[in-house]
Amino acid sequence: MVKNIIDVRNLSKSFDISSKKPGIKGTIKHFFKRQKQSLKVIKDISFEIKEGEIVGFLGANGAGKTTILKMLCGLIYPSEGSILVSGNLPYRRKENFLKNITLIMGQKQQLIWDLPPIESFYLNASIYDIDKFEAKKRIKKLSVMLEIDDELFIPVRKLSLGQRMKSELLAALIHEPNILFLDEPTLGLDINAQRNLRKFLQKYNVETNATICLTSHYMKDITSLCKRVICVHNGSISYDGELDLLLKKLSPVKEILIVCRSNQDAIKLEKLGFSVKDKTRNEITIKVENNYIISTLKTILNNFDIEDLYINEPPIDEIIGKILIKKDYDV
């Protein structure tokens, strides 16, 4: 049986926030007396993650995804509840725990700006007590996997965003962590760089059985990497389960684009009582519930002169967009 590597129970986090009213009056009042309030950004959440799992955290901006990751990696203290990550309390930041994890935040860099990335890699290797010979081997292996072996000796400031991000990833993985916390790792990257990064993460997961917790606003990151998603809404978990199940639940219909040979057929189809999404001349797009797809297709093919036909899933972004604004999913 695969063991749980992350165990979160009734976790909450509150921040003290000071607010200020606009204008001179508000400014003067704020100067003499700060109005502070405690804001609960994570509310009593519980979940478990198994070793080797890739879990995507989904939610709107400010939902609490990054705060959860920060607590899981020990960067910030929880206000209430308990977290165990590979048997450790993360916020104690014990050496053996820190050597097992990594956190990558898109656009936040740890590489030394004016030096080539190789210098930062050796520095990180030394921080994680990896000897020079072993470090060299790992840098070689990871740079080939990430396709940045030509950029190792170029100052970081001269690298493109994609090359920098890959270098950041190499720096963060040189100690071969078992648990990866990735906060928007593909932020700002072009489509090819995003795809390469995803391929790399998949390969890393397969080769090392590493557990990956990921947040991203690029749905392709989530759909291609994560079987399981945890949806966060206003600091609470609104869904925790398989992504496929959630998509089926949220999207019980498929779209059928029918290209008729004549405009008349298209008009007749429109009047048949289907839910029509779009119609232009001889092309009509209808929405059909998953259970009725076959019977609907039979009816259309038997009664109309059809030139072409396409069955599409609704755009994934559209479905996930629903997740961000809904509070609960009972799948």
Q: Write out the residues near another protein by the rule CB under 8 A.
A: 15, 70, 73-77, 91, 93, 95, 98-99, 101-103, 105, 108-110, 112, 114-115, 119-120, 122-124, 126-129, 172
What's the closest the beta carbon of residue 259 comes to another protein, in angstroms? Answer: 51
What's the closest the beta carbon of residue 326 comes to another protein, in angstroms? Answer: 28
Q: H helices within 64-208, ranges in order?
A: 65-72, 95-98, 117-127, 132-146, 161-173, 191-208
Taking the least distance from each CB to another protein, the nearer of 102 and 216 is 102
Taking the least distance from each CB to another protein, the nearer of 91 and 219 is 91
Residue 81, phi then psi, degrees to nearest 5: 90, -175
CB atoms within 10 A of CB 329: 18
Taking the least distance from each CB to another protein, the nearer of 82 and 275 is 82
What's the closest the beta carbon of residue 282 comes to another protein, in angstroms? Answer: 54
Angle (nearest 5°) at CA 228 between 222 and 232: 75
CB atoms within 10 A of CB 39: 12
Amino acid at 20: K
What's the closest the beta carbon of residue 240 comes to another protein, in angstroms? Answer: 24
Taking the least distance from each CB to another protein, the nearer of 43 and 228 is 43
Taking the least distance from each CB to another protein, the nearer of 39 and 206 is 39
What's the closest the beta carbon of residue 127 comes to another protein, in angstroms? Answer: 5
Token pair of 192, please? 């090819």
Closest CA to 226 of 207, 247, 251: 247
